[in-house]
Structure 1
């Protein structure tokens, strides 16, 4: 049976690729970071917020960004891709800015965030992950000709 040209975006092959191979691993890593960064921020903010408010609020921001990217990648389609694109872009900018500031002004960051020192506490995965996420979104974008 031929494919219906009105097939929803979520059913197109570019979105189906997320559920296999590298796409599945990418979604798993983003989901893990969404959970770990959010949980870390919740514990930090609720137990000793006054010790490093900037670092803990940045941890919460990182958690929110990872949640958004995870949801965008999982949803797929035009809207999901846009959410993931914005999330991965903010993640990249955040890890570069926070990483640089945490090295340049260690006093402002008495406790680590996910993005401190470019994610060194997480094996630099926070630095590499947005590049992979953005590459994945670009590589699996809908065909403009069709």
Structure 2
């Protein structure tokens, strides 16, 4: 454990090993979803506003989740749980709707068919993220930054 500028021990990081890999995958997915949604919105937003807006929402969720997994505080821990839970809900709802009523999503989103366009990583990633958060909790007494 290292010491901070105040001489108190700095909290150990949960960003090691599998945690680093998880954060890297979230980061790559954040970049991919951001790029995809940007291109979709600029090129043909009027063709599928719902699908393209959902792609942009997914990008924001992945960006916030990536940051929240990197940060180590009780506040960011709660943000990580919230964004990853929202991500899982989004994947399940959009994935199911894209199968039940394909007319809703004639243009694919990141979460269509449970993330099949991304090798189902959007379906598996939140489950891994929740597992990781459960295994590496942050004490509520830690700061809010």
- TM-score, normalised by the number of residues in structure 1: 0.87
Deviation of the 1:142 alpha carbon = 3.0
Which residue does the alignment assign to 1:40?
Answer: 36
Which residue does the alignment assign to 1:112?
Answer: 108
Which residue does the alignment assign to 1:29?
Answer: 25
Q: Deviations over 1:101-141 (max 9, x none)?
A: 01111111011111000001111110000000011111100
| Structure 1 ranges of 4+ moved more than 3 A | none
- TM-score, normalised by the number of residues in structure 2: 0.88
**CA-based RMSD:** 2.3
Which residue does the alignment assign to 2:11?
Answer: 12
Q: In proportion to residue count, which structure has more helix?
A: 1
**Which runs of 5 or more residues in structure 2 are unaligned?**
141-145
Q: Could you tell me how far apart the structure 2 residues matched to 1:112 and 1:31 are? A: 21
**Which runs of 5 or more residues in structure 1 are unaligned?**
none
Which residue does the alignment assign to 1:98?
Answer: 94
Which of 41, 48, 54 does residue 52 from structure 1 map onto?
Answer: 48
Q: Could you tell me how far apart the structure 1 residues matched to 2:18 and 2:125 are? A: 12
Count of aligned pairs: 139
Q: Deviations over 1:75-100 (max 9, x none)?
A: 12112211111110100000000000
Deviation of the 1:17 alpha carbon = 2.4
